[in-house]
Amino acid sequence: MSHKVKTYLSNLAVAFIAISSLVFALFPFYWAVATSIKPNELLFQVPPVWVFEPTTKNYELVFKDWKVANFLTNSVIVTSISSLLCVGAGTLAAFALARFKFRGRESLASELLSIRMFPPVVVAIPIFILAYYLNLLNTYTILVLVYATFNIPIVTIIMRSFIDEIPIEIEESGMIDGCTRVTAFLRITLPLCRDAILSVLVLSAIFSWNEFLFGTILTRMETRTLPVIAGQTMTQRGIDWGPAAALTVITAGPMLLFGMLIQKYLVRGMTFGAVKG
Amino acid sequence: MQQRKQYLTVLFLILPAFAIVFFIAIYPTVYSFVISLEDFSITDPAPANFIWAQNYVELFLNDDRMRNALFNTVSITAIAVTAELLLGLILAFAFNQNFPGNGIMRSAILMPMMTTSVCVGIIWRLIFNPNFGIANYFLSVVGLPPLLWLSDVKVALFAVSLADIWQWTPFMFLILFAGIRSLPVAPFEAAKIDGASNWQLLWRLYLPMLKRVVLIAVILRIIDVLKIFDIVYVMTKGGPAMSTDTVTMYIYRVSFDHFHTGYAAALSWVFLVIIMLASAVFLRYVRYAE
Amino acid sequence: MSSTQKVGRRKFLKYAGAAIVAAGVVGGAGYYLTRPPVGPTSTETMATTTVMESPTATPTETLAARLNLVGTVEAHCYAKKEIGAAPDGDYFKKTGTEVVVEQFPYDPTHEREVLELSTSSPTYDIICSDNFWIPEYSSAGWLWSLDELHSMYPDVPEIDWNGISWIGSHEWYKHYAAHNDLCVVLMAYRKDLFEKYGVTDTGGKPKIPVSWDDYKTTIKDLTRDGNYGAVYHLGGRDAGYTDWLVRRQGMASVKGPIGVYDYVVDEKWNPIFNDSKGVEALEMLIEDLKYAVPGYLGIDYPEAIAAYQNGKAATFITWSVLMFEFDKPDVAPLIVGKSGYAPPPYSEEPHFIPGGWHMGVNKASKNPKDAYRFISYIISAEGQQAMLNHGAVTAYRKEFLEDPKWIAKYPVMEAVPKLKNPYPFTITGQWVEMQRIIYEGIAAAISGKKKPQQALDDASDEVHDVLEKAGYYQ
């Protein structure tokens, strides 16, 4: 085959892959949005109704009656504090694991990772008991701590990988100039890790924002988060499909915005320390 | 003196992370291990007796449901992670080309990853509805017979995996894409000058150089998919006829519906050991591959 | 050196800026974390946190300022919320006690109740439970005995046990919880489809099947034009179990003490559900699935309701509480007014399964006296009227269930006077586990993994083990 034809075919293939993946990724969102603005009687029509007169009934219900704005605030507070905490603590720990050789280094690292392996269902009851006896039920504190616990391992493993790849000479030259080990890290290495930090921030934020089980058992009305409200649409009488779809859109919204803003940095940050150019 | 100062520094550096983690994790770990050795039931007013390894023995010898759940869980993990890896690779290579709208499309593709698992389950349950769902509508449009999806014992497992694949392929894509982007240019240019075909480039250069990235991504996904809960809970609750019953669903049922809390703890520990073994195998491979 | 210094200063400023922002965030966070969180104010699913000062209490006693109640939407907690709300709620105006209601979906309510009660947490004073959760809680010692509360506080009006219609529950429950619901298994049918397809009697009215054989013929005749005669919800534990039990009960003719003997176990707690009638019921069910909406093995209450509401099925045998939605124009616009309601078919003797929501008092509650008072109020005639006024759709007092005017308001109620012989679920703390085991056997038989007899026999052995471990065979 001539080179031109090959290029044309490969371009076609790329276009096809890009577009079909886009459609596959976005169609359920379109469906969620459509369901959230469809009047009830059209919901289950087959063949589906593509053009219809939209209604804001579901959004009104969710914002006015269910007071979703409060839960949105709770979600924002818990997610931002816990992801910042995670990234801070995890990065420091990653630095220690990457730069210092000490006994028990590897076992400490794998212990951290093993925390991530606990299915939340398994620890639900003891964490509830713990929170109850510490009087931390229905506070932001307990949610922040629990989410941080599950995210710190991931942050640490990714950041450690990243820091491993940055040559130690950079810090050593900083130390010659008079910084301590830690200051050298903060001033010199950390800015180089900016992209990695942003990407682990996004990963922790996604996890905290979307977490469901602990949100259900550790909160009452005052500190409840969005995913729990989404789960409350599943009643025994039926799933409130309309409000559930509306909540899907509302829950996904802020995350999307956040993701789009730092999308550029995400890619650069996810290299896990693959060799630099 | 320098040594001690170093140890102190290390201590202070790792203190925040480990303080948080151990504060939350230590009590549940000890608690669940202790009750796994008891016949503890949360509704039983009598104090629990130590029955030592009896829960574990019963688990290994008699528990068909655990075997079924393990089989289902491992199947879902294998299907989902493999598909996510393949799709992620294809997407990563495709988006590696320059074409208009590349950046915007990349952001759009990431959207499924940002969705709450509960919502993912609800939306896909709606899509897979055998009578009113859009999935069967699309099948009918291309002339295929409708499937029962979540009601079909043979199909439900794949349907649940499909929901997970939809949600997490962007994660794989992100990691692999970043990995490809950060590869050094020199070896590829040299190979092209030498006349290597695209296929050879793929097999001989790209994949071996991406090995480490791929392994880390795969291990992270495996750990997460083994714990799958929200999607299964919303879509099938373990049905139909136990064909999507996963280990976490089973543990949930035993502890919250049947109140055999001690036995559930034993199940959890066995499962935990399995996950740890699986990831230890992979981690060793990562270290070996460096 | 100078270049490093310049870089140093720039970097330092950047860090200073970042540190200020971080300090701001941390400070703001600290502020949020240390002040008590303020809850949203209310209608449907929210709870107020402000405690109102009670107006002048009656001279002889001081009442609690506030009670907390947990329950589900299905338990009509929305009505209780309005009754107990300050400042306009009926109960608040009467006694000055505010009752704060939290509603959750079905499973999360159960989880929440178990977690709170097992840690002896006084968070909730009143617990709304589905009937088979009550034995779990009572055998664990988590509920006050209502008789004991009454003898401890004789000045509080006693719960009006004689005024309740026991059609919806069983006298055993009154030791621990008062039922405020009417939930029975009924058959809903599309009158218009019966008439359209000629399944009528001589007078042109829909011919309602009486026996299970009639039922099979009926749904066969109604399965046409892309729709089906029946819809089953065999995908959920409770839903699927109900589908089988309603047949099984109608086929047996052996009687025994109510509450122990519901054709699942006998009076000595031996499982008997795998006898010939039980197997026959399962086999009949499998036969009838030919005329059921496809996907029956994977659908639970929500999808089955959606199928019926969208006209896919001509009959639907399920719990009455779900049927009240069928006549609401904004919920089920396609079938409004088209449904009739009848007792489910039977083969030997008519039976029916009651279920329903009960209210109990948390043993760890700090206000058991006032909790009892509230429950007593809800059960009284005044309370019942208040519940109905605030939108509860079921009644539990005799004067309503026997009042033709009230029955006429709710088409679903037309079937209730025709119900005979209630046999509620076996009252035991192990009931959920038993139900699960039997359900898994039913599902295995339907999916073809096991033959019906084998499936029920295996389930029977397992139920026997469970009951043995729980100490029922001493």
Nearest to A129 by CA among B21, B31, B43: B31
Residue B231, domain extent: 72-241
Under 8 Å between Cβ of B258 and C437: no
| Number of domains forming the structure of chain B | 1
Interface with A, mutate which of B122, B222, B259, B283 (most A CBs under 10 A): B122
Please name the CATH architecture into which domain A62-271 falls.
Orthogonal Bundle (1.10)
C293 belongs to a structural domain? yes
First and final C-alpha spacing in chain C: 89
Question: Which residue in this structure is represented by tokens 């994790």?
Answer: B25
Between strands C354-355 and C339-342, the pairing is unpaired
Report DSSP state, residue B203.
I
More confident residue, A39 or A28: A28
How far apart CA C424 and CA C135 sit, in angstroms, is 13
C441 belongs to a structural domain? yes
Q: What are the sequence ranges of the domains in chain A?
A: 1-55, 62-271
B155 belongs to a structural domain? yes
* Three-point CA angle B103, B104, B109, nearest 5°: 100
Residue C371, domain extent: 9-182+356-418
- pLDDT tens, per residue, chain B with 290 residues: 567 777 888 888 888 888 888 888 888 889 889 989 988 888 887 888 888 888 999 899 889 999 999 999 999 999 999 999 999 998 888 888 777 777 778 878 888 888 889 889 989 998 998 888 889 988 988 988 988 899 999 999 999 999 999 999 998 988 888 888 777 778 888 887 887 777 777 777 788 878 878 888 888 899 889 999 999 998 998 889 899 999 999 999 998 889 998 999 999 999 999 888 888 887 777 666 55
B127 belongs to a structural domain? yes
Q: How far is CA A233 from CA A245, B68, B279, C113, in A?
A: 10, 30, 36, 19
**H/E segment holding residue C221:** helix C212-222
Chain A residues whose CB is inside 8 A of the B264 CB are 122
How far apart CA A32 and CA C13 sit, in angstroms, is 46
Model pTM? 0.87
Two structure tokens written together for A110 = 């794998």
How far apart CA A193 and CA A276 sit, in angstroms, is 13
What percent of chain A shows pLDDT beyond 90?
12
How far apart CA C237 and CA C289 sit, in angstroms, is 17
Interchain CB contact of C299 with B (< 8 Å): yes
Between strands C339-342 and C313-319, the pairing is unpaired
Question: Which residue in this structure is represented by tokens 């679920």?
Answer: C425
C192 belongs to a structural domain? yes
Two structure tokens written together for A34 = 């459509």
Under 8 Å between Cβ of C185 and C319: yes
Interface with C, mutate which of A55, A221, A228, A234 (most C CBs under 10 A): A221
C238 belongs to a structural domain? yes
Residues C226 and C273 reside in one and the same domain: yes
Count of other CB atoms within 10 angstroms of residue B270: 18
Residues C198 and C248 reside in one and the same domain: yes
How far apart CA C29 and CA A77 sit, in angstroms, is 8
pLDDT tens by residue, C355-385: 889 999 999 999 999 999 999 999 999 998 8
Interchain CB contact of C325 with A (< 8 Å): yes
Chain A residues whose CB is inside 8 A of the B226 CB are 117
How far apart CA C221 and CA C291 sit, in angstroms, is 9
C474 belongs to a structural domain? no
Angle between helices B102-109 and A3-37 (to 10 degrees): 50
Interface with B, mutate which of A210, A236, A251 (most B CBs under 10 A): A210
**Which residues make Cβ contacts (< 8 Å) with residue C146, sequence separation at least 6?**
C159, C174, C175, C176, C177, C178, C360, C361, C372, C375
Beta-bridge partners for C130:
C357
How far apart CA C55 and CA C96 sit, in angstroms, is 6
* Ranges of chain C whose pLDDT falls below 50: 1-9, 23-24, 27-28, 31-32, 34-60
The burial class, CB within 10 Å (0-12 / 13-18 / 19+), for A130 is: buried
Residues C278 and C388 reside in one and the same domain: no
Chain A residues whose CB is inside 8 A of the C25 CB are 80-81, 84
At C462, which amino acid appears?
A: E
C204 belongs to a structural domain? yes
Report DSSP state, residue C422.
B
Residues C221 and C158 reside in one and the same domain: no
Residues C267 and C299 reside in one and the same domain: yes
Nearest Cα of chain C lies from the Cα of B108 at a distance, in angstroms, of: 30
3-state secondary structure at position C259: coil
Residues C367 and C322 reside in one and the same domain: no
Residues C122 and C259 reside in one and the same domain: no
C85 belongs to a structural domain? yes
| Number of domains forming the structure of chain C | 2
CATH code for the domain of B147: 1.10.3720.10
As for the ipTM of the complex, it is 0.88
C153 belongs to a structural domain? yes
Among the partner-chain residues A67, A125, A187, the one whose CB lies closest to the CB of C46 is: A67
Residue of chain B whose alpha carbon sits nearest to that of A156: B17
B268 belongs to a structural domain? no
The answer to whether B256 contacts C111, with C-beta atoms less than 8 Å apart, is: yes
Residues C402 and C456 reside in one and the same domain: no
How far apart CA B160 and CA B149 sit, in angstroms, is 9
Residues C38 and C67 reside in one and the same domain: yes
Report DSSP state, residue C179.
E
B114 belongs to a structural domain? yes
Two structure tokens written together for A212 = 């469901």
CATH code for the domain of C170: 3.40.190.10
Radius of gyration over alpha carbons of chain A, in Å? 23
Report DSSP state, residue C60.
T
Interchain CB contact of C297 with B (< 8 Å): yes
How far apart CA C366 and CA C124 sit, in angstroms, is 9
Torsion on CA atoms C179, C181, C182, C185, rounded to nearest 10? -90
